[in-house]
């Protein structure tokens, strides 16, 4: 069967040489029983290749089963693929055939095969080499005659080096490798695919077909398409439904095509966490510690003024401390709201004079009593929340903003510390 006939039969759009090469290999390998490994990025249409191989093989009248290996939990995947006996695990109320038994005489397509656990990979290797399977909880060997076609978007060399995939299984699966090209590697097919999709959606939603301007065509061709054919199809469907003007210009496309700054590579999750990756509780603790440090600095400054008879000379060594503790706005707030001793600064001499408190009570210089403060984070957190609520007259929204936490977290803390009035 020639390539053009295959495209018409399986509704494949495109004239790219890379696409034609992939389809040609699939047609040639179909009559054999050789295992095939399809590699390509997510969204390129890898799932059509095993259908071609199955339908053009002598197994076309046998079963065809497609399995997404990444969607099956690790604890049940052996049972799903190879079956299990009654009572082999909790919930196994009766014996069950696995996919490899069900697909006997046909083809099984293992999508995302790189997601298989290492233990399952050993079982799969045995099937490929001997055609034998053993159900979970059984010791009886069962013969099966299955053609295996696998697919993945994972770089196998990196997976093998990291110990996540068996090298012997890779070579057994990839007797014939087929690479499905990304959409950016077949830019000549982008407009053909767009026209096919917009025609399909116009029939589905009973709307006029979309028409591209010259600038619109150029944007579609030049875009990198990190989501490949799937992304193009989704964008076409969105525009088919949402756009009243059926002529698609560059301005219209800019509202649907995301920035080129996005990466098509999978996200890597590291073992460590970023220094800025705080939870709300950790942020609150950080605020508490910062305020405790500021309070200690304030104590140090006021104590120095008391010990020096009500004066405090600002020099190069303590200037930073004075600026940190007594900003102009902060000093005003302290004097007006907290009845602390008034502070007068002589900017000419660089000397601070300590006056009397607003309560008109004289300041005792003879002695001072040092009270040990609680170092409990819980007490500090509770006290800080009480002060924030008092300051904002129990308005939780503003108190939460002051504390740097969400209103929901503040509400939970109020209940936890029984601060509700």
- H or E element in which residue 26 lies: helix 17-29
Q: CA-CA distance, 58 to 55, in Å (whole number)?
A: 8
Q: Strand ranges (DSSP E) for 187-250?
A: 211-212, 247-248
CB burial readout 377-409, b (16+ within 10 A) else e: eeebbbebbeebbeeeeeeeeebbebbebeeeb
Q: Is residue 273, in this structure, part of any structural domain at all? A: no
Q: Point out the domain boundary residue: 150, 181, 212.
A: 181
Say if CB 298 and CB 325 are below 8 A apart.
Answer: yes
CATH number at residue 197: 1.10.8.60
Quote the CA–CA distance of 357 and 337 in Å, as a whole number: 12
Residues 290 and 250 reside in one and the same domain: no
Q: Identify how many contiguous H helices and E strands the chain contains and give both numbers.
A: 18, 12
> Do residues 98 and 67 touch, judged by C-beta distance below 8 A?
no
> CB of 271 within 8 A of CB of 222?
no
Instruction: Write the CATH number for 35.
Output: 3.40.50.300
What element of type H or E holds 111? strand 107-111
The answer to whether position 268 is within a domain reads no
**pLDDT number for residue 289:** 62
Residue 89 is assigned to a structural domain of this protein: yes
The answer to whether residue 275 sits within a structural domain is: no
The pLDDT, as a whole number, for residue 59 is 96
Q: Would you tell me the crossing angle of helices 3-10 and 17-29 to the nearest 10 degrees?
A: 90
CA distances from 116 to 111, 150, 166 (A): 10, 11, 10
Structural domain including 219 reads 185-254
Integer angstrom CA distances of residue 221 from 212, 217, 260, 357: 12, 6, 13, 76
**Is the same domain home to 325 and 346?**
yes
Within this chain, do residues 170 and 198 fall inside the same structural domain, yes or no?
Answer: no
For residues 96 and 84, is the Cβ–Cβ distance under 8 A? Answer: yes
Question: Among 310, 290, 292, 294, which residue's Cα sits nearest to residue 302?
Answer: 310
pLDDT recorded at residue 386 = 86
Cα separation, 200 vs 191, in Å, equals 14
**Per-residue pLDDT at 279:** 47
- Which of 236, 251, 190 is CA-nearest to residue 217? 190
Torsion from C-alpha of 13, 16, 21, 22, nearest 10 degrees: -50
Q: What angle do CA 179, 185, 189 make, to 5 degrees?
A: 105
Q: What is the pLDDT of residues 256-300, one digit of tens each?
A: 998 754 444 444 433 444 434 444 555 565 666 667 667 777 777
pLDDT at 375: 54
Residue 199: which of 226, 234, 171, 237 has the closest Cα?
237
H-run or E-run covering 161: helix 156-161
Nearest 10 degrees: Cα torsion 188, 193, 195, 201: -170
- Radius of gyration, CA atoms only, the chain: 36
Q: Is residue 145 part of a domain?
A: yes
Query: Are 7 and 108 members of one domain?
Result: yes
Instruction: Say how far apart CA 398 and CA 377 lie, in whole Å.
Output: 22
Choosing from 151, 181, 211, the residue where a domain stops is: 181
**CA 168, 172, 177: angle at the middle one, nearest 5?**
120
Please tell me the predicted confidence (pLDDT) of residue 61.
96
**CATH, residue 396:** 1.10.10
Asked whether residue 363 is assigned to any structural domain, the reply reads no
Task: Report d(CA 241, CA 256) in Å as an integer.
Answer: 12
Ranges of residues in the chain with a pLDDT under 50 are 261-279, 327-349, 354-371
Residue 199 burial (10 A CB sphere; 0-12, 13-18, 19+): middle
pLDDT at 390: 85
| 48 and 68 co-located in one domain | yes
**Domain count across the chain:** 4
Are 191 and 166 in a shared domain? Answer: no
Q: Are residues 209 and 346 in the same domain?
A: no
Residue 295's pLDDT is 73
Query: CA 179: distance to chain centroid?
Result: 27
The last residue of one of the domains, among 159, 181, 203, is 181
Tell me, yes or no, whether 372 lies in a domain: no
Kindly report the pTM of this predicted structure.
0.61
Residues 39, 108: one domain?
Answer: yes
Confirm whether 371 is domain-assigned. no
Q: Are residues 62 and 193 in the same domain?
A: no
Residue 404 pLDDT: 79
- Specify which residues 65 forms β-bridges with: 108
Residues 223 and 112 in one domain: no
Q: List residues bridging with 86 in a β-sheet.
A: none
Contact between 309 and 355 (Cβ < 8 Å): no
42 and 73 share one domain: yes
Please give the Cα distance from 345 to 174 (Å, whole number).
82
Q: What is the pLDDT of residues 362-378, one digit of tens each?
A: 444 444 444 455 556 67
Residues 171 and 26 in one domain: yes
What is the 8-class DSSP label of residue 5? H
CA distance 282 to 277: 9
């Amino acid at each position: 069967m020639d390539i053009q006939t295959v495209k018409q039969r399986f509704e494949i759009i495109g004239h790219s040489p890379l696409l034609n090469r992939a389809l040609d290999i699939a047609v040639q390998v179909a009559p054999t029983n050789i295992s095939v490994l399809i590699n390509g990025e997510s969204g390129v249409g890898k799932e059509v290749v095993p259908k071609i191989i199955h339908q053009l093989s002598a197994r076309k009248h046998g079963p065809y089963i497609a399995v997404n290996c990444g969607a099956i939990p690790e604890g049940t995947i052996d049972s799903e693929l190879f079956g299990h006996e009654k009572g082999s695990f909790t919930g196994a109320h009766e014996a069950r055939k696995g996919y490899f038994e069900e697909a006997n005489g046909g083809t099984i397509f293992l999508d995302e095969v790189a997601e298989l656990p290492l233990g399952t990979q050993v079982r799969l290797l045995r099937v490929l080499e001997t055609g034998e399977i053993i159900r979970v909880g059984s010791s009886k060997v069962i013969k099966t005659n299955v053609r295996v076609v696998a697919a993945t978007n994972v770089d196998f060399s990196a997976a093998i080096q990291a110990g996540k995939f068996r090298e012997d299984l890779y070579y057994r699966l990839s007797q014939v490798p087929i690479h499905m090209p990304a959409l950016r590697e077949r830019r000549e097919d982008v407009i053909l695919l767009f026209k096919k999709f917009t025609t399909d959606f116009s029939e589905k939603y009973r709307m006029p077909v979309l028409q591209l301007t010259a600038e619109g065509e150029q944007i579609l061709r030049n875009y990198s398409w990190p989501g490949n054919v799937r992304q193009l199809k989704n964008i076409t469907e969105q525009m088919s439904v949402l756009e009243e003007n059926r002529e698609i210009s560059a301005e219209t496309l800019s509202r649907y095509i995301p920035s080129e700054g996005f990466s098509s590579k999978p996200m890597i999750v590291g073992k460590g966490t970023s220094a800025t990756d705080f939870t709300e509780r950790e942020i609150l603790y950080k605020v508490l510690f910062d305020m405790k440090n500021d309070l200690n600095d304030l104590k140090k400054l006021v104590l120095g003024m008391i010990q020096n008879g009500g004066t405090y000379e600002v020099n190069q060594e303590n200037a930073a401390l004075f600026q940190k503790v007594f900003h102009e706005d902060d000093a005003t707030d302290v004097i007006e709201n907290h009845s602390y001793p008034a502070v007068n600064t002589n900017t000419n001499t660089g000397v601070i004079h300590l006056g009397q408190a607003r309560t008109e009570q004289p300041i005792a210089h003879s002695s001072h009593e040092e009270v040990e403060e609680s170092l409990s984070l819980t007490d500090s957190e509770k006290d800080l929340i009480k002060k924030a609520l008092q300051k904002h007259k129990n308005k939780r929204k503003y108190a939460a903003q002051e504390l740097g936490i969400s209103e929901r977290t503040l509400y939970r803390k109020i209940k936890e510390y029984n601060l509700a009035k």
